[in-house]
Amino acid sequence: MKISISLLRIAAICLLISGCSNYRELNELGVIIGMGIDHNDDPDNPYKVTYQVINPSGLAQTSTSGGKGLAVINYTVSAKTLVDAYAKASAIIPRENNISHLSVIIIGEELARNGLDLLFDAIERGKNQRVSVPVYIARGNTAEYLLGIIEPLEMTPGKNIISTTKSEQSDYGSTNEVYVYDTISALMSEGKDVLLPGISIRNDSKKAKQISNFETTSPAYIEAKGIALFRKGKMVRWLDGETARAAQFVTSDINRTDVVIPCSVKGIVTITAIRVKSKMKTKIHHEKPVIQTSLNVMGEIMETSCDLDMSNPRLLKEFERKMENELKKQIKRTISIAQKEKSDIFGFGDALSRTNPDYWRLHKKNWDNLFSDAEISMKVNVDIINSGMRIEPYKSN
C-alpha cells in the first residue's frame, strides 16, 4: 500500500512538472499580433513581410513599475514565401517567435492588385496559426507603413483597426470584418469574388510614426475606408460611402445605418435602419440568368428638419416609399458597378449553383460574363415602426 501511495505521489509530481514544460515567460517570447504583407520589387524575394511584436516593457508603462519604449515593435523581412519570411524573422526578432496570437493581417494595395493567389496557404496549413483573423487592404499605401502609425487612443495599430471597423459596421455599415477563412472560401469559389475592407490614414504627416503624434489635437490616425472589389483573386477597384454600404445591404451585413431622404423642398428626414434582412434568388429565363434580390428593412425616424405631423400614418407610408426608392437606387448602382467589373462580390453565382446545378455545371466557366449581362430584379420593403420620442418637431421663432 505504501509503495502504491509513493508511486501515485511520484506520478502527480511528474504531471505537475510536465504541465510546466512548455511554459515561457512573456519576456522570452516574440508574440506577433499583427502581420503586414507587401509586394517587393525583388523577383527573388517577392514578398515584404512586417511582423508587429508586443513589447512587454512598453506595455508596462501604464503600471507603477514603469517601462521602456512603445507597446509594439515592427520587424520587416523580404522573402520568397510567408514561411520563408517567418524563418528569416527569427534572425532579427531577439526572442522565440510566437504567431498563435496574430489578430490582424494587412495587405498592401499593390500586392492586392497583383493578385492574392495562394497567399493564405501557409496560414491555413500552419499548425500554430488561426484562420479567424481579419484581413484588410492598406488603401493607397503599404501594410508596413500602416503598422508603423503611433495610435493616439489604442496601444497598438491592430487593435485600433479592429475597433474602428467594428464601430463603423455597427453605426454606418459600409464595411465589415472579413476573416482569413472567408477570403480563402471566396478565392476557391467559382461563384463568388473576394470583398475586403480598406484602411487608410487620416491627417498623415511626418509625425505619424513618432511619439510626437500624441502631442497634437489633430493626430494622424487609421480609419476604415471603403471596400475593395476583386475579380479572380485580383483587386480591381474601391467602393465608398453609400455605394459600399449598398453591397452590405445585399448581403445582410448591416447592423444599423442611417438613410437620409427629403421630406420637403429644403428639409430632410433621417431614418435609422435597425433590422436588415435580404434574400438572393436566381432563375433561368431564355437560357440567361435572372438575379432576384429582396430586401426587408425595419426603421425608425430619428431626425427631421420638416414641420410635419409624424403621427400621420399616411406620412409614414410616404417616407417608407421614399426610402424604398432610395435604397433601390443605391443598390442598383452598386450592382451595376460590380457587373461592369465582372466581380460577383455578392455570391449570386453560388446561389445559382444551388438552385440550377445543371445550368451551373455547363456555364460556370463563363460566369463572369453571364453575371455582367444578367438581368436584375429587385424588391425593397421598408417598415417604419415609430417616429422617435416626438410627434412634432420644435419650431423656432
Q: What is the 3-state secondary structure (H, E, C) of 176-230?
A: CCCEHHHHHHHHHCCCCCCEEEEEEEECCCHHHHCHHHHCCCCCCEEEEEEEEEE
Of residues 97, 176, 96, 100, the one with CA closest to residue 136:
176
Cell numbers at residue 309, please?
405631423
- Cα Rg of the chain, angstroms: 26
CB within 8 A of 314, min separation 6: which ones?
A: none
Average pLDDT over residues 33-60: 89
pLDDT at 158: 80
pLDDT at 26: 56
CA dihedral 348, 351, 353, 358 (to 10 degrees): -100
Question: In the predicted model, is pLDDT for residue 57 greater than 80?
Answer: no
CB within 8 A of 89, min separation 6: which ones?
A: 49, 51, 75, 77, 97
Residue 178 neighbours by CB distance under 10 Å: 21
For the chain, domains (ranges, CATH) are 24-239 (no CATH), 244-397 (3.30.300.210)
- Residue 62: pLDDT band (50, 70, 90) is very low
Q: Are 306 and 269 in contact (CB under 8 A)?
A: yes
- Residue 388: pLDDT band (50, 70, 90) is low
Question: How far apart (Å, rounded) are the C-alpha atoms in residues 35 and 77?
Answer: 11
Q: Are 299 and 307 in contact (CB under 8 A)?
A: no
pLDDT at 168: 85
Name the more confident of 245 and 156. Answer: 245
Place of cell 460574363: 369
B/e letters for 59-90, b = 16+ CB within 10 Å, e = fewer, are beeeeeeeeeebbbbbbbbbbebbebbbebbe
Q: Choose the weakest-confidence range: 227-231, 281-285, 351-355.
A: 281-285
| pTM value > 0.75 | yes
What percent of the chain stands above pLDDT 90?
A: 54
Question: How far apart (Å, rounded) are the C-alpha atoms in residues 260 and 296?
Answer: 17
257: enclosing H helix or E strand: strand 257-262
Please write the tens of the pLDDT for every residue from 248-260.
999 888 888 999 9
Question: In the predicted model, is pLDDT for residue 90 greater than 50?
Answer: yes
Average per-residue pLDDT for the chain: 85
Name the more confident of 309 and 368. Answer: 368
Question: In the predicted model, is pLDDT for residue 14 greater than 50?
Answer: no
The DSSP bridge partners found for residue 237 are 229
pLDDT at 1: 45
Question: In the predicted model, is pLDDT for residue 295 greater than 70?
Answer: yes
